Amino acid sequence: MPALRAQAAKSLRGSIRVPGDKSVSHRSLMLGALAVGETRITGLLEGADVLATAAAMRALGAEVTRHDDGTWTVAGRGIGALQTPSGVIDMGNAGTGVRLLMGLVATHPITCVFTGDASLSRRPMERVMGPLRAFGTRFTARDGGLLPITVEGAADPVPVAAEMTVASAQVKSAVLLAGLNTPGETSVIQHVATRDHTENMLRHFGAEVITEPLPDGGVSVRLIGQPELKAADILVPADISSAAFPLVAALLVPDSEVRIEAVGLNPLRAGLVETLIDMGADITIENRRTEGGEPVGDLVAKTSALSGIDVPPARAASMIDEYPVLSVAAALATGTTRMTGIGELRVKESDRLAAMVDGLTACGVVVRSGEDWMEVDGLAGPPKGGAEIAVDLDHRIAMSFLVLGCVTENPVVIDDADAIGTSFPGFVDLMNGLGTQIGETNT
């Protein structure tokens, strides 16, 4: 459980590639397991969360193999052929993994028990179980709909028309995955559009998915059940949520220019880039292309003078994981940055909204907040820093405050670096290779 200390950096320079997209990595393993034939995955994120999903797919009967060249293959079992695991499936801290897997097994006639670490075991799962019960699935959970959860898959699932009450790609995806082994048409209506990696990848594997925009800006998604998915190779783009940390650091540290290669730029995920540009960030996108059905480009970021803005609440779904590091950027912007519609931050790996308010305040930044909003007053100079931050098993809180420590008067310490490995193995070495000064500390 090492503590890490970040101190002010003089300049960041270099060209890097961050780990593969976590959302795409989870889905490639799951859909590869339901496809007929062998799927080859290049660039899979080898963080703890995705490795938990790989282990889960093995437990459900798929043959999942990592090869010496870093590629992975999945020999699928076909839709409807998942097997009852021999033991409890431990998903660690993988919230996306466990919610999508609950959907995947919900319409298979098997019984699975899912558990997780202390952080995952306090995250809400009823939002997933509710719509999945309509298929005929049965759940047994702790009070409050918490892990451990036993899933008894429906032997004769019925198609569902689900209207989402939360703007969650995880819930939408769980319903669509359950629809794969259900006869007829399963549909999802979301009044706020969320990331569409599941729809893109389902089409990539041969499923029929119909997406239609709604007048209110939302989306209707329909899936024709019981397709024969065929193995399809996947090239995983670099994760924009991971790219966010060196991206913001490059904007804030003096005399910096950093290129981040092959970043996934799905418009339903790229809200942070749009927001930073609105704040005055010098970010250019080069070498745009499409890889594995996802738009990709190289991000080039240079030191910038940022200004506070009102972040449109409609943008929250496209950047919900990036608000912690955005609030770090806001701390060094001129004026006030207001973020609204961000209540979802309170049910992530930790209460991220509270964690950022407390941590920024401890570092000398003026912050105001409510149930689903936060305001950050930017400082004329560097924040004082000098605080030790309790990250509460949350990787994004840990990395956000390490980025802040790169520009504070006094070093910033995080109490536990272990959580970083869930999404960004090699984070410290990569950042130090650019010029940051992050290292272990005994304080």
Give the residue numbers marked as catalytic.
321
What region does 111 belong to: left with phi over 0, alpha with psi -120 to 50, or beta? beta
Residue ranges of the alpha helices (H) in 195-346? 197-204, 240-252, 271-278, 323-331
Secondary structure (DSSP) of 366-414: EEEE-SSEEEEEPPSS---B--EE--TT-HHHHHHHHHHHTSSSB-EEE
Secondary structure (DSSP) of 138-199: EEEEETTTEEEEEEE--SS----EEE-SS--HHHHHHHHHHHHTSSSEEEEEESS----HHH
Q: Tell me which H or E stretch contains 299.
A: strand 294-302
Residue from 240, 241, 255, 247 nearest 431 by CA: 247
Convert 19-32 to b/e letters by CB count within 10 Å (16 or more is b): bbbbbbbbbbbbbb
Q: Which residues contact 228 (CB under 8 A, 6 or more apart)?
A: 36, 78, 79, 206
Q: Among all chains, which residue has been given the structure tokens 């889905």? A: 27
Convert 110-119 to b/e letters by CB count within 10 Å (16 or more is b): bebebebbeb
Secondary structure (DSSP) of 10-44: S--EEEE-PPBPHHHHHHHHHHHHHSBSEEEEES-
